[in-house]
Amino acid sequence: MEAGWALFLDLDGTLLDIAPTPDAVRVPPGLIESLSGLEACLDGALAIVTGRARATVDGLLAPLTPAGGFGHGAELRDAAGRTGGTDAFPALPADWGVRLEREAAAWPGVILERKPHGLALHYRAVPERAADARAALESLLAGHAEHFALLPAHMAFEIRPRGATKARAVEALMRSAPFHGRRPVFVGDDVTDEDGMAAARRLGGLGLYVGRDFRCGPAEVRAWIARALARLSQGNAHAQP
């Protein structure tokens, strides 16, 4: 890692170990401190880009409130804490959550996750329900495909607004301070991160994949961050007059 990077990090499966359910995820000791220190070393050019809602991320990483793209880029927050971007997308039809809740109740082990700009069905506990989960979401999209899209994820399928992408978050943040002029590096672990990685590469940076570049999973990403923090902090100390 270099001091001139702008770092974009996915959350689940990248910084955090995958949990049986979305609510069961745990933040390992020391991670928040490492992220806070690295954010300072990068002059604020660190962002969390995730499918989770902003409020959920803030709860997990408190007291850290980094820049980021939330809901797969539907909501943005810059390094100064300004939020926005949501007015670009239509609201989900009000009855979709009710319909999915009813269907999920008939499939023990399938979990409905409600988000400000999307809905997800998780089938990790019952992988044989993958086709059912996909079909349930596809049925909602009939007649609405112009505005919403189906997104596959880790043992889940999700509906999100079209145009709400992690690439959108990368591109928007790279136009603002302190990201502008730096080399973007996106770290992610699944198909939902690939457009963010592609955006980073288009802007002269890198896309790093957990499972390929970090073969030991999130634990290796966290160790990489800790090492980078130690090295960059040492360099900053030597640079002091």
How confident is the model over 194-212, as pLDDT tens digits? Answer: 999 999 999 999 999 998 9
Q: Which tokens belong to 119?
A: 């809905």
The answer, yes or no, to whether residue 177 has pLDDT greater than 80, is: yes
Higher pLDDT, 21 or 107: 107
pLDDT at residue 109, rounded to an integer = 93
Contact predicate 44/150, CB 8 Å: no
- What pLDDT was estimated at residue 233? 86
How wide is the angle at C-alpha 61 spanned by C-alphas 56 and 63, nearest 5°? Answer: 115
Phi-psi region of 77 (alpha: psi -120 to 50; beta: other; left: phi over 0): beta
How far is the C-alpha of 137 from the C-alpha of 116, rounded, in Å?
Answer: 17
CATH code for residues 5-87+164-239: 3.40.50.1000
Q: What residues does each domain of the chain span?
A: 5-87+164-239, 96-161
Of the listed 10, 58, 78, 193, which one is catalytic?
A: 10
Asked if the model's pLDDT at residue 240 lies above 60, the reply is no
Above 60 in pLDDT, residue 230? yes
Q: What is the pLDDT of residue 238?
A: 46
Mind listing the pLDDT tens digit for each residue in 106-144?
Answer: 999 999 998 888 899 999 999 999 999 999 999 999 888
Domains 5-87+164-239 and 96-161 share a fold: no
Question: Is the whole-model pTM more than 0.75?
Answer: yes
For residue 176, the 8-state DSSP code is S
On the question of pLDDT at 216 being above 60, the answer is yes
Into which CATH architecture does domain 96-161 fall?
Answer: 2-Layer Sandwich (3.30)
Is 12 a known active-site residue? no
> For position 239, what pLDDT does the model report?
45
Neighbours of 39 (CB within 10 A): 20
